[in-house]
Amino acid sequence: MANIGNPFTPSEKKAVLCGSGELGKEVAIELERYGVNVVAVDKYPGAPAMQVAQSSHVLSMLDGDALAQVIEEEKPDLIIPEVEAIATPKLIELEEKGYKVIPTAHATFLTMNREGIRRLAAEELGLPTSRYEFASTEEEFEAAVGRIGCPCVVKPVMSSSGHGQSVIRDASQMKEAWKISQEGGRAGGGKVIVEGFVDFDYEITLLTVRHSAGTTFLKPIGHHQVDGDYRESWQPQAMSPEAEKKAQEIAGSITAALGGHGIFGVELFVKGEDVIFSEVSPRPHDTGMVTMISQDLSEFALHARAVLDLPVPEVRFYGPSASKAIVVEGNTSEYEFIDVDKVLEEPGVQVRFFGKPEIRGHRRVGVILATDETVEKALQKAERAYSKLKVKIHQ
Ligand code: AMP
């Protein structure tokens, strides 16, 4: 039975959102459609989800004590992580005390560290992955590269969005790759994973929803990454029925092992009929923003349903669609989207501006969404819209 009271009363459902970026903002909006009281948390004030939540707290979510203090103060029905960088051992303690962590505290703990999730996928579940080794020192790292062979990919075990990641094409690049890995990781150095380079035909995110009525797989999302960071995505990615079946089997297996209710972004590499597991995020995925235009229920709407223990009897797919990230570079706390009217001239185009309070270096500040008769046309439409947009950086 799923009951939802009105906000700010003893019957309310309260959610603490750990992470208040653009994905969290959409989750907050979708939860609020059900009258949920959303408390947004992040390390800086004015974060996107804070701008739509009923209240917020500014703190480092890697600080377990600070996080626990906010949770004990707010006493939420749900703790919903939006990012990986959270004191996940503290989430395990909070879960033991009776708090509900989405999808489970153990899932957030395992997926925070590439080692945890890779060992679960490859060694416990027997899923196909790239060859890999872990290394904690430069010596171990060089030996691991020697065994895996070139080309290979190096990533800090605590990292995301391409931070600290590089490809080693020959042994001469080894020293530089180690240096990059030690500077780019979330924990500031430490253990890395060395992965055999997968020469895939294409890569996908298979969004998988675990909800009260079962597990639903969405149409595969293809995407294009630059330096490990997503720039464009499209749905559906054409796949052979055989490859799609394998992808669903892998996604079903890993999400069942992680457990709980919510949406999962399962990242897979596809080469011919072979499907290789790469990683999984137990939360909405950036490449899944395309679902804001391609489906009746976006990945955020589905996440809200799932975490509230509501069923997902159907997801209606509207048609081929694309998303294009608006990434800008600068150093400012004021910027302006110019010619937005021109961007929206064509039918089948939408935009989302995230409202980030400042830009320091590269920052994703919005996304263009487009839909058309084919994926190719949708991608071209998104590109046309993007080319009409200017971002003015105020000094
Ligand atoms: P990740 O942070 O692990 O999702 O990696 C970011 C991106 O780097 C992926 O989406 C791929 O495009 C690329 N990548 C990561 N691992 C490999 C690999 N073993 N072989 C080839 N490309 C990879």
Domain boundaries, the chain: 14-101, 131-196, 199-319, 323-395
Q: Residue 9 has what pLDDT?
A: 98
CB-ligand 1 contact for 153 (6 Å cutoff) = yes
Q: Which two tokens stand for residue 121?
A: 């996928």
Distance from the alpha carbon of residue 131 to the mean position of ligand 1, in angstroms:
13
The top-level CATH class assigned to 323-395 is alpha beta
Nearest CA to ligand 1 atom 8: 228
CB-ligand 1 contact for 198 (6 Å cutoff) = yes
**Confidence band, pLDDT 50/70/90 cuts, at residue 11:** very high
Nearest CA to ligand 1 atom 13: 228
Nearest CA to ligand 1 atom 7: 228
Cβ-contact 134, 193 below 8 angstroms: yes
Strands (DSSP E) found in 119-261: 132-135, 152-156, 166-168, 192-196, 202-211, 214-217, 221-226, 229-235
User: Locate tokens 């399962």: which residue?
Assistant: 266
Q: Residue 395 has what pLDDT?
A: 83
Q: Comparing 378 with 190, which gets the higher pLDDT?
A: 378
Residues belonging to the active site: 160, 162, 267, 279, 286-287, 364
Comparing CA positions, the residue from 187, 181, 179, 130 lying closest to residue 158 is 187
CB-ligand 1 contact for 267 (6 Å cutoff) = yes
Q: Which two tokens stand for residue 24?
A: 């969290």
Q: Residue 186 has what pLDDT?
A: 65
* Residue of 153, 200, 229 with the most ligand 1 atoms within 8 Å of its CB, for mutation: 153
CA dist., res. 16 & res. 38, Å (int): 6
Q: What kind of fold does domain 14-101 have according to CATH?
A: Rossmann fold (3.40.50)
CA dist., res. 147 & res. 74, Å (int): 50
Nearest CA to ligand 1 atom 6: 228
Cβ-contact 103, 261 below 8 angstroms: yes
CB-ligand 1 contact for 228 (6 Å cutoff) = yes
Average pLDDT of the residues in 383-388: 98
Q: Residue 188 has what pLDDT?
A: 60
CB atoms within 10 A of CB 265: 22
Cβ-contact 387, 322 below 8 angstroms: no
Nearest CA to ligand 1 atom 9: 228
CB-ligand 1 contact for 202 (6 Å cutoff) = no
Instruction: Quick: pLDDT tens for 258-292.
Output: 999 999 999 999 999 999 999 999 999 999 999 99
Atom of ligand 1 nearest to the CA of 223: 10
CB-ligand 1 contact for 278 (6 Å cutoff) = yes
Q: Which two tokens stand for residue 124?
A: 């416990």
- Calculate Rg over the CA atoms of the chain: 21
Q: Do domains 199-319 and 323-395 have the same CATH topology?
A: yes
Q: Residue 392 has what pLDDT?
A: 96
Instruction: Quick: pLDDT tens for 112-156.
Output: 999 999 999 999 999 999 999 999 999 999 999 999 999 999 999
**Whole-number mean pLDDT of the chain?**
96
Distance from the alpha carbon of residue 275 to the mean position of ligand 1, in angstroms:
14
**Strand pairing report for 14-18 and 37-42:** parallel
* Residue of 133, 225, 279 with the most ligand 1 atoms within 8 Å of its CB, for mutation: 225
Does the domain spanning 131-196 belong to CATH 3.30.497.10?
no
Q: Which residues pair with 225 in a beta bridge?
A: 230
DSSP code at position 198: P
Q: What kind of fold does domain 199-319 have according to CATH?
A: D-amino Acid Aminotransferase; Chain A, domain 1 (3.30.470)
Distance from the alpha carbon of residue 228 to the mean position of ligand 1, in angstroms:
6
* Residue of 200, 278, 287 with the most ligand 1 atoms within 8 Å of its CB, for mutation: 278
Comparing CA positions, the residue from 206, 346, 173, 359 lying closest to residue 276 is 206
CA dist., res. 358 & res. 3, Å (int): 39
